[in-house]
Amino acid sequence: MARWEPNARERLVLAALDLFTEQGYDNTTVTEIAERAGLTKTTFFRHFPDKREVLFAGQEVHSRLLADGAAAAPDSATPLEAVAAALDALTASFTAEQREFGPRLAAVIAGHPELQERAAFKHAALAVALTSALGKRGVPDLTASVAADLGVRAFDRAFDRWIEPSSQQAFTELAHEELQALRTAALALG
């Protein structure tokens, strides 16, 4: 078999989601995922440590996109403007294909406490990455962590809206709307 496997990572993610949806997460093996993707188990393990991580493949890339996006905001940007820039960078990386498999991904995670734990950890890891990036901009620690929490929550809420089949809005626009709504809610705490 050729050592060059185009889009191996994406093929494995799609194959895994198909199988998890068809026959259940617990009943699906790494061997089956690799086979469905037309790849070997060895190739699978070059990309993911186990079947669970296929579902959270984006964590490192997403953390980096958030951090780079926040870092690239103008010096004059407020903490929340830097968060908005981070969300721009992250949401711009999502493809139409990711939108299409979003509901299946959400359904698999919702069905397994183990996956919900992993999702909570991803959420926390993204918040840590964004907090750290804001800190490098000189934002005080506590402000940075509150702003980052709002940003990651805005991302999650925007993602849920974006993957709805009836949704017409761009992911980036939804993220801005959610961040603005969360900001208003935070300020209303008074």
For residue 146, state whether it binds a copy of itself (rule: CB under 8 A).
Answer: yes
The answer to whether 140 and 49 are in contact (CB under 8 A) is: no
In whole angstroms, give the CA distance from residue 94 to residue 173: 13
For residue 76, state whether it binds a copy of itself (rule: CB under 8 A).
Answer: no
Only one of the segments 11-19, 22-30, 38-46, 114-122 lies at the binding site for a copy of itself (rule: CB under 8 A); that segment is: 114-122
Only one of the segments 84-92, 93-101, 159-167, 178-186 lies at the binding site for a copy of itself (rule: CB under 8 A); that segment is: 178-186
Among 19, 65, 73, 150, binds a copy of itself (CB under 8 A): 150
In whole angstroms, give the CA distance from residue 178 to residue 155: 8
Q: How many residues bind a copy of itself (CB under 8 A)?
A: 30
Closer by beta carbon to a copy of itself, 44 or else 56: 56
190 secondary structure, DSSP code: -
**Which candidate, 33, 42, 41, places its Cα nearest to that of 11?**
33
For residue 80, state whether it binds a copy of itself (rule: CB under 8 A).
Answer: yes
Window 2 to 61, contacts with a copy of itself (CB under 8 A): none
**Amino acid at site 121:** F
The answer to whether 65 and 93 are in contact (CB under 8 A) is: yes
Cα radius of gyration rounded to whole Å, the chain? 18
Footprint of a copy of itself (CB under 8 A): 78-80, 113, 116-118, 120-121, 123-124, 140, 142-143, 145-147, 149-150, 153, 181-190
